[in-house]
Amino acid sequence: MFWDKPTETLHGEKLKALQLKRLKKTIRDSQNVGFYKKCLADAHVRPDDIRTLEDIQKIPFTKKQDLRNGYPFGFFAVPLKKVVRIHTTSGTTGKPTVVGYTPNDLDAWADLIARNMTMVGVTEDDIFQNMVNYGMFTGGLGFHYGAEKIGMTVIPSATGNTRRQIEMIQDFGVTTIHCTPSYAMHLSEVAEEMHASLDSLKTGIFGAEPWSETMRSSLEERLGVTAFDSYGLSELFGPGVAFECPERDGLHIWHDAYLVEIINPETGENLGNGEQGELVITPLVKEAMPLLRYRTGDITMKLEDGCLCTRGQKISRITGRSDDMLVIRGINVFPSQIEHVILKIPEVGNQFMVYVDRVNHLDEMTVDVEINRDYFSGELTDLARIQKKVVKELRDALELRTTVKLVEPGSLPRFEGKAKRVIDRRGDAI
């Protein structure tokens, strides 16, 4: 099924012409942003120099750190009064990254979500429970408006209270759910404990964290759904950037809205079909916050064109990151954020180690920090207070509950050269 068949099946010269037209507009719009004005000037590129899609390679990349440097509104290309919504995503340190939307942006975004959901076969007859965070995270409102646009019956259940979520699925006859794959697994276990049947479910849309094919089979068996992978990031609206079609063999990325490059993350050189590298995207329809050659940090590759569904060229499912970003229960965490928090707390030392495990299908993050000699009073209660303080500061900064372990001064590894402070023990565990 198609939401917008002519656009979704655009190929060849017609697609390129549309992309080029939109790219030129995006570059012009970007000149309202100080960063891009300087960026192009420094690279001796005038907007008019971009005459073909390949010419984009003359423009330097934009990194997440650049967005962070523009905090809060430095990347807005329109006056703030034209911005009707703000979301944030975790920054690499302290402050978050801010993204803004004009009414056209929100409409374009909802339209992409409507395309994705229609592609996997859901319609206005479906009842949709959206079990992700509805706050600053783009996953909640993004899917919400897309599903409403299709005319689905939307239950904005957000996160938490799994038993209540299960009751709603039963009582409302929910057919379609959206959540992180690990939460879906947790949901299935709680349902099992409750002896609750989830017969009404048909479709599961899972995203915001990487998941394996083993996880897919397991979720499909446990929940009785067909499971689809959803990809997006807040800097590019949010979810909806790329999505699996019923073939479930790679992600359709919407070429009319996103210009795709795959690069070697070390050299920046462009890679061809089948070559694995970092996904770099130039969004083509963003008004409030145009971006040029944004480095997503996600590792994928362009697949050979020609999907049975007749839509455009796919990318492979995301296989990893080119940087050290972690995804914990769907939340992006950079080790630098943790460092930033630790450095601000005098009671603990500057060294830390992060361990990530999967316990009962949910991600658990443990942070080891050394107690600072000067703050050891000899009293257990003072230690417990310090431990609580670190937990709280981390929760405030990461919006994530972590376990904090106080360790003896000097006991954590010291690194010469590149530090390896994160031990991810989740592996391919489901």
Partner 1 sequence: MDVKKYVVKQISVFSENRPGRLAAIAHALGEEKVNILAFSIAEASGFGVVRALVDHPEKAHKKLTSLGFNVAFTEVIAVHMKDIPGGLYEVAKILGDAKINIEYSYAYSGKDGAVLILRVDHVEEAIEKISKSGATLIESSVFH
Q: Which of 373, 392, 401, 420 binds partner 1 (CB under 8 A)?
A: 373
Note whether 410 binds partner 1 by CB under 8 A: yes
d(CA 218, CA 224): 10
Note whether 377 binds partner 1 by CB under 8 A: yes
CB-nearer residue toward partner 1: 5 or 388: 388
- Cα–chain-centroid distance for residue 109? 15
CB-nearer residue toward partner 1: 15 or 391: 391
> If you search the block for the tokens 């899609």, which residue do you land on?
53
CB 362 within 8 A of CB 426: no
CB-nearer residue toward partner 1: 37 or 425: 425
Note whether 408 binds partner 1 by CB under 8 A: yes
Q: How far is the CB of 362 from partner 1 (least distance, A)?
A: 19
**Measured distance between the N- and C-terminal CA atoms of the chain, rounded to whole angstroms:** 31
CB-nearer residue toward partner 1: 222 or 389: 389
Q: Which of the stretches 5-13, 26-34, 229-237, 405-413 binds partner 1 when contact is defined by CB under 8 A?
A: 405-413
Q: Which of 205, 387, 421, 426 binds partner 1 (CB under 8 A)?
A: 387
d(CA 16, CA 22): 10
CB 138 within 8 A of CB 127: no
CB 161 within 8 A of CB 168: no
Residue 157-186 contact track with partner 1, rule CB under 8 A, x = bound? ------------------------------
Note whether 412 binds partner 1 by CB under 8 A: no
Interacting residues with partner 1 between 48 and 107 (CB under 8 A):
none
Q: Which of the stretches 124-132, 232-240, 244-252, 401-409 binds partner 1 when contact is defined by CB under 8 A?
A: 401-409
Q: Which of 13, 171, 266, 379 binds partner 1 (CB under 8 A)?
A: 379
Q: Which of 272, 378, 413, 427 binds partner 1 (CB under 8 A)?
A: 378
**Coil, helix or strand for 18?**
helix
Q: Which of the stretches 140-148, 253-261, 325-333, 403-411 binds partner 1 when contact is defined by CB under 8 A?
A: 403-411
Q: Residues touching partner 1: how many (CB under 8 A)?
A: 17
Note whether 383 binds partner 1 by CB under 8 A: yes
Note whether 417 binds partner 1 by CB under 8 A: no
d(CA 261, CA 302): 9
Q: Which of 5, 14, 392, 405 binds partner 1 (CB under 8 A)?
A: 405
**Coil, helix or strand for 239?**
strand
Q: Which string of b and e fits 375-407 if b means at least 16 CB within 10 Å? A: eeeeeeeebeebbeebeebbeebbbbebebebb
> Between β-strands 314-315 and 294-300, what pairing exists: parallel, antiparallel or unpaired?
unpaired
Note whether 14 binds partner 1 by CB under 8 A: no
CB 175 within 8 A of CB 202: yes
Phi, psi of 173 (to 5 degrees): 65, 45
For residue 271, which amino acid is it? L
CB 233 within 8 A of CB 318: no
Q: Which of 411, 415, 423, 429 binds partner 1 (CB under 8 A)?
A: 411
